[in-house]
């Protein structure tokens, strides 16, 4: 297991803002042209991220606990295994993040 405190700031904000139910801080962790793919459902840009957040994340009182962090195959890519609880999805699984210029550019949830 990689040290979960070694998360890049943007991914740490993704987790912390979710747990604090802080939508504005959550959306601000993403680049303006970010992409989020949640099992084939695509969300793009801040408005898309905000939409996903309201239906699948803070909007359903999601809470994240970091289980593992590993380097991805590409530079600035991380695979973060999260335990998720709340009134939506509950379980443990990986999210693949690509960070660019200190912001989340891409997230794949599968």
- CATH number, domain of 30, equals 3.10.450.50
Model confidence, pTM: 0.93
Boundaries of domain holding 65: 4-109
In the chain, DSSP finds a helix count (H) and a strand count (E) of 3, 6
Which of left, alpha, beta for 45 (phi over 0: left; psi -120 to 50: alpha)? left
Residue 6's pLDDT is 78
Count the Cβ atoms, other than its own, within 10 Å of residue 82. 22
Rounded Cα gap, residues 2 and 67, in angstroms? 9
3-state SS, residue 10: helix
pLDDT digit string, tens, across residues 56-85 = 999 999 999 999 999 999 999 999 999 999
Structural domain total, the chain: 1
């Amino acid at each position: 297991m990689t040290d979960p405190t070694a998360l890049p700031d943007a991914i740490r904000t993704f987790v912390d803002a979710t747990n604090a139910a802080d939508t504005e801080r959550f959306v601000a962790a993403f680049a303006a042209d970010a992409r989020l793919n949640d099992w084939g459902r695509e969300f793009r840009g801040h408005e898309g991220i905000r939409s996903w957040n309201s239906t699948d994340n803070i909007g359903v009182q999601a809470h994240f606990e970091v289980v593992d962090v590993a380097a991805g195959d590409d530079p600035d890519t991380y695979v973060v295994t999260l335990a998720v609880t709340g009134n939506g999805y509950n379980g443990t699984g990986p999210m693949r993040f690509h960070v660019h210029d200190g912001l989340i550019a891409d997230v794949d949830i599968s």
